[in-house]
Amino acid sequence: MFSFITSFLPTSYLLPGWLTDTNPLDSLLQGLVAASGISVLCSLIRVHLLLESWSNKDDRDTSSHKASSHLKVTKTGITGMLQFFFVTLILSVVGSRVASLVVLEFCLRAVSGWVTAGPESWKFLQQLLIQSQFSLGCALSCSLHFLHEGASQRWLCLLLAASLSWFLARQTTRLLHHVMALYKLHSSQRYCGVCITLLTSGHFLLPMLCRTMIITFSVAVLAAISIINKHFLSATEALRFWTPLTICYTLLVVYMQEEQHRLPSNQAVLNTVMVRLGGLMVLMLTVGRWADVLHILMCFLGEASCLIPTKDLLDATSLQDEEDYTHYVNRKPRRRPQAAEEH
C-alpha cells in the first residue's frame, strides 16, 4: 500500500539529478526539520536574552530597557512564514556533501573560538549560538540523511520527524510571544506556571541550549565524515581532499578570530560568512563538482536569510556586554573606600 501511495509522490523527474542527491520529497522534509530547528533555536535565544535583560532591573533599569527594546521587533505573520519557507527551500536544495562541509567548518571554528575566548567565553557562546543558525540547519539535514539512508520507508520517518519539529517550533514561538507580552506581569504576581518556572529556572536555558548543540553537532560530525568519505574511491583521493581543507580552514579560523576582535559584531559576522563560504567555493572549484559550487552559492542566501532577521540578537548581546562592563567599572570605585576603612 505504501508503494502505491509513494508512486504518486514527487520523485527525481521533477528536478535534475545533479541538483539534488536524494528524492525531492525527502529533501523537502529534511529541510522542514532543519528550518524548524533553527526556529526553535532563535525563539529560545530571544527568551534567554529577554530574561537576562530583565533579571537585574533593580540595578540597571535603563540598560535592561535598552537591551529588551532591541528584541521587540520579531518576524511574525506573513513575513515570518515567508522567511521560514525560504530557509526550508534553501536547506532542501543544498546537498548533503556541502552541508557536511559547512558542519565541519563550523565545528572547527567553534572549538578554536571557545579555546581562545578565555574569560569572555560566556559572551562568545551567546554570539556563537546566534551565528550557528544555518550551520544547525545543515547539521540536522546531513544527520537525517545519514541516519535514514537505506530505510525502506524513509519518507514516512521524515514525515514524522517534520511533524514533531513543526510542533516544537510552534510551541517555542508561542512561548516567546507569551514572555514578551506577559512575563513582567505574571512573574511579579506569581500566578502563571510558565512564567514562574522561567523566573526560577530561566538561568539554566543557555546551558541547556549549549548542551543540546554539542550533542547535535557531535552526531552531525560523524555523519558528515561518513557522507564525504563515500565520494572517494581511494585513501589517496581522500587525503588530497582533506589536506587542503584542513590547512585552508585553520588559516581562516585564525584570520576570523582577529577580525572579530577588530570590527563591530555585525560587520565581523558578515565578513566571517563571506570568508568562510568563499573559502569553501575555492575548495569546491578545485576538488568538487559544479553542483557543489551551486549549493555553496545557495548557502550564501541561506546564511543571509538566517542572520539578517536576527541582527537584533547580535545588537542585544553586544549592548549587554558593554553595559556589564560599564556596571562593573562604576561599582569598582565603591569597593575601594570600603576596603580602605577595613584596614
More confident site: 67 or 221? 221
DSSP 8-state class, residue 19: T
**296 located within any domain:** yes
Q: What is the pLDDT of residue 76?
A: 57
Q: Give yes or no for a contact between 23 and 12, defined as CB atoms under 8 angstroms apart.
A: yes
pLDDT above 60 for 124? yes
For the ranges 176-180, 241-245, 249-253, which has the lowest average pLDDT? 249-253
pLDDT above 50 for 217? yes
Q: Give yes or no for a contact between 314 and 45, defined as CB atoms under 8 angstroms apart.
A: no
pLDDT above 70 for 61? no
Q: How many CB atoms lie within 10 A of CB 12?
A: 14
Q: Which three cell numbers stand for residue 192?
A: 502563571
Cα 74 to chain center, whole Å? 17
**309 located within any domain:** yes
pLDDT above 90 for 85? yes
Q: What is the pLDDT of residue 280?
A: 76
**123 located within any domain:** yes
Count CA atoms closer than 13 A to 342's CA, side-chain side: 5
Q: How far is CA 204 from CA 178, 197, 201, 208, 265, in A?
A: 19, 11, 6, 6, 25
More confident site: 264 or 192? 192
**332 located within any domain:** no
Q: Residues near 99 by Cβ (< 8 Å), separated by ≥ 6?
A: 91, 138, 139, 141, 142, 145, 224
Coil vs helix vs strand at 1: coil
pLDDT category of residue 187 using cuts at 50, 70 and 90: confident
Number of domains composing the chain: 1
**Separation between Cα atoms, residue 96 and residue 228, nearest integer Å:** 8
Query: Which residue stretches of the chain are H helix?
Result: 2-6, 24-55, 61-69, 77-93, 96-117, 121-131, 133-147, 154-189, 193-201, 205-229, 235-262, 265-287, 290-307, 311-342
pLDDT above 80 for 215? yes
pLDDT above 70 for 35? yes
User: Could you list the residue range(s) of the whole structural domain that residue 217 is in?
Assistant: 21-321
Q: Give yes or no for a contact between 96 and 22, defined as CB atoms under 8 angstroms apart.
A: yes
**341 located within any domain:** no
Q: Which three cell numbers stand for residue 238?
A: 581522500
More confident site: 279 or 78? 78
**330 located within any domain:** no
pLDDT category of residue 69 using cuts at 50, 70 and 90: low
Pick from 96, 137, 48, 315: which is nearest to 225 by CA? 96
Q: What is the pLDDT of residue 326?
A: 47
**223 located within any domain:** yes
User: At residue 148, what is the residue type?
Assistant: H
Q: What is the pLDDT of residue 62?
A: 47
User: At residue 293, what is the residue type?
Assistant: V
Q: What is the pLDDT of residue 9?
A: 45
**Separation between Cα atoms, residue 327 and residue 307, nearest integer Å:** 29
Could you give the angle at which helices 311-342 and 265-287 cross, rounded to 10 degrees? 130
CA dihedral 12, 158, 228, 220 (to 10 degrees): 160
**56 located within any domain:** yes
Q: Output the CA angle 165-142-171, nearest 5 degrees.
A: 15
- 240-250: average pLDDT: 71
pLDDT above 60 for 204? yes
Pick from 249, 256, 308: which is nearest to 280 by CA? 249
**Separation between Cα atoms, residue 203 and residue 189, nearest integer Å:** 20
Q: What is the pLDDT of residue 10?
A: 44
